[in-house]
Amino acid sequence: MPTTPSPPESRSAVRTLLRLWPYVRPVRARLFSAAFIAILASCIGLVIPLVLKWMVDGPIADRDPAGVWLGALYLLLLGLAEALLFGFRRWLVARPLSHVEAEMRADLYRRLQRLPVAFHDRWPSGQLLSRATTDLMLLRMFLAFPLTFLLVNGVTILVGVIIMLVQDWALGLVILVPAVPVLITCVVFEKRYSGAARRAQDQVGDLTTVVEESVLGIRIIKGFGRHRSQAMAFRKLSGDLRGTELHKARLLATILGVIVTLPELAIGAALVLGAVQVADGSLSAGTLVAFLSTALALRWPVDSIGFLLAMSQEAATATERYFEVMDAEPESPAPGPRPAADGGGRPRDGEGGLVFHSVGFRYPDAPEGSAPVLHGIDLHIRPGESLALVGATGSGKTTLTALVPRLHEVTEGRITLDGTDITAMSLEELRSRVAVAFEEPTLFSATVGENVLMGGGTGEEDLARALAVAQADFAHALPRGTDTQVGEQGLSLSGGQRQRLALARAVVGRPDFLVLDDPLSALDVHTEAAVEAALRRVLADTTALIVAHRPSTVLLADRVALLSGGRITAVGTHHELLRGNPEYAHLMSGAPAGEQEDQR
Ligand SMILES: Nc1ncnc2c1ncn2[C@@H]1O[C@H](COP(=O)(O)OP(=O)(O)OP(=O)(O)O)[C@@H](O)[C@H]1O
Ligand SMILES: [Mg+2]
């Protein structure tokens, strides 16, 4: 079940939203002009009641039709100006705000690429996906509306109240009475809504994870007839989300109730009082009309505060979620601090090849007190040598291979390449010297050629050579040869075909060091033999670490190391270990291919 990785820390919404400033900065001029225009438009709206007052006390009282027409014309022009200005504002902000959204999304994507594997192990992909989509959309909406309108409406309310107080201060005070309870409600609402908003957005992330997993795992779901239970899991999560959304709606309804009702009552009271004063003759009818239409003009700015606050709160939550990812520590592409500490230059210990010096490793999320996956690993793979790594399933072979290109950082000891500590190289240099092929051959939505050339190499020649080594010549027979699209949106390849392309990707750049995690597991015996024959030529001048389950793969290597209980318990040739190490003999004899191999 997907979980939310980090608990929300409590920070005020304003402080959280201020973190958006670096992104908003480049468009600040437009945003401020837009806000200014909106304030102008809004204040033009407040002039309308004053024209009404002039009409009621002037032309209407004097029964002057021409004056009434003139007033109507003024009203029309004012209305038109207000509409045009608001339209202009929208035009002004639309482009820069979509730019802000795009920038933030690009930054998030860049960051996701640079975050270490340990981060991705910990975070459900749906949580990341929802941050890149829903949360960023909420932020754009916040910048477009609440940010401007909280300011605009605030100014409008202030100006409106001043106008009303000037018209008649006693009636103005009546209108102001609800201000205090409304403010208190807003503060209480903010607090409550913030929790609900965070919950809802996290639940959207969980839901996204489930959808993503069921799309990726559709074969398994169908194969096991699990669509019903999968649908139930989805229903449960979407039910939870619905519950949270309803809770949000109830909170919003409460604040709207207060924000709409109290001022409405105040307006009613002011109307009664004003009518009495007009009857007494102590107030002109025009003033009352102006007063009430100002009050009515302020209704939208006041009513909208509820959902503007709600949207701001959601935006604050979205910002918080966004920066949870952006604040995560990325892999540092530059050399690490350790070797730099002991003087200038890179420490060299004279040993060539790939060397593990008392390496230990535990996963960052491993439970307290559990034994580390690897400890005290000492291995020396000499230059040009290839070493097979054998061990029971779950013994830590994949983990060990991941340490070489620093997909995970060793927690003890160190690894050197030709005498240089891998933490003393930049990640770029390290990863260009070490090529890897993993257990699960991943292909991207691109052509066969592009997928292979991701591993380095420059052109057709390298590509053809790599395909030949990996016995992936089937690629030339694809509908469009090596230009055929594969991956999720392209042609589906078989497991063995994908594995051979992944192998081609590993060897295409002629790396100095090759790390292969069980690279031939999905191949039939004959293809395997052909790949091995070709691979042997590559391995002749490459230092290689090859995880192997089958004797046929082991025989590719010069020596074998046995990984057991997190340690290397034996190193030797295949035949030495087969004779002298019962655990190794047991591991190797279990595989059917092993028997064939031994009979050879
Ligand atoms: N990301 C991870 N976080 C925590 N523990 C992990 C992680 N990946 C693997 N492990 C644990 O580390 C141990 C070694 O796993 P690893 O994948 O290295 O085994 P392996 O030798 O490659 O097995 P196999 O032969 O099945 O591929 C296992 O007990 C596994 O549960
Ligand atoms: Mg493995």
Tens of pLDDT, residue by residue over 428-468, are 899 989 999 888 888 888 899 999 999 887 888 889 999 99
Return the residue whose CA atom lies nearest to atom 9 of ligand 1: 399
Alpha helical stretches, state H, 487-562: 495-507, 525-539, 551-554
- Cα–Cα distance, 434 to 425 (Å, whole number): 12
User: What residue spans in the chain does CATH classification 3.40.50.300 cover?
Assistant: 354-599
CB-side neighbour CA atoms (13 Å) of 436: 19
Closest ligand 1 atom, residue 402 Cα: 18
Q: What is the structure's pLDDT at 561?
A: 95
Closest ligand 1 atom, residue 366 Cα: 4
Return the residue whose CA atom lies nearest to atom 4 of ligand 1: 363
Ligand 1 neighbours (beta carbon < 6 A): 121, 363, 365-366, 373, 391, 393-399, 439
Alpha helical stretches, state H, 281-298: 285-297
- Cα–Cα distance, 39 to 148 (Å, whole number): 9
Q: What is the structure's pLDDT at 306?
A: 85
Return the residue whose CA atom lies nearest to atom 14 of ligand 1: 396
Candidate of 397, 400, 408, 588 to mutate for ligand 1, largest count of ligand atoms within 8 Å of Cβ: 397
For the domain 354-599, what is the CATH code? 3.40.50.300
Ligand 2 centroid vs 328 CA: distance in angstroms?
A: 27
Residue range 15-326 forms a domain whose CATH class is: mainly alpha
Ranges of the chain with pLDDT below 50: 1-4, 6-8, 339-345, 347, 591-600
- Cα–Cα distance, 143 to 20 (Å, whole number): 10
Ligand 1 centroid vs 170 CA: distance in angstroms?
A: 77
- Cα–Cα distance, 267 to 171 (Å, whole number): 9
Ligand 2 centroid vs 519 CA: distance in angstroms?
A: 11
Q: Tell me the whole-structure pTM to 2 decimals.
A: 0.81
Ligand 2 centroid vs 394 CA: distance in angstroms?
A: 7
Q: What is the structure's pLDDT at 486?
A: 87
Q: What is the structure's pLDDT at 344?
A: 43
Q: What is the structure's pLDDT at 494?
A: 85
Give the containing element (helix H, strand E) for 515: strand 513-517
3-state SS assignment for residue 360: strand
- Rounded to an integer, what is the distance from CA 126 to the centroid of its chain? 8
Q: Give the number of the ligand closest to the Cα of residue 389.
A: 1
Q: What is the structure's pLDDT at 456?
A: 83
Using an 8 Å Cβ cutoff, are 316 and 194 in contact? yes
Pairing type for strands 513-517 and 374-381 reads unpaired
Q: What is the CA radius of gyration of the chain?
A: 35
Give residues with Cβ within 8 angstroms of 473, minimum separation 6. 467
User: What residue spans in the chain does CATH classification 1.20.1560.10 cover?
Assistant: 15-326
Using an 8 Å Cβ cutoff, are 467 and 475 in contact? yes
Q: What is the structure's pLDDT at 600?
A: 37
Ligand 1 centroid vs 361 CA: distance in angstroms?
A: 12
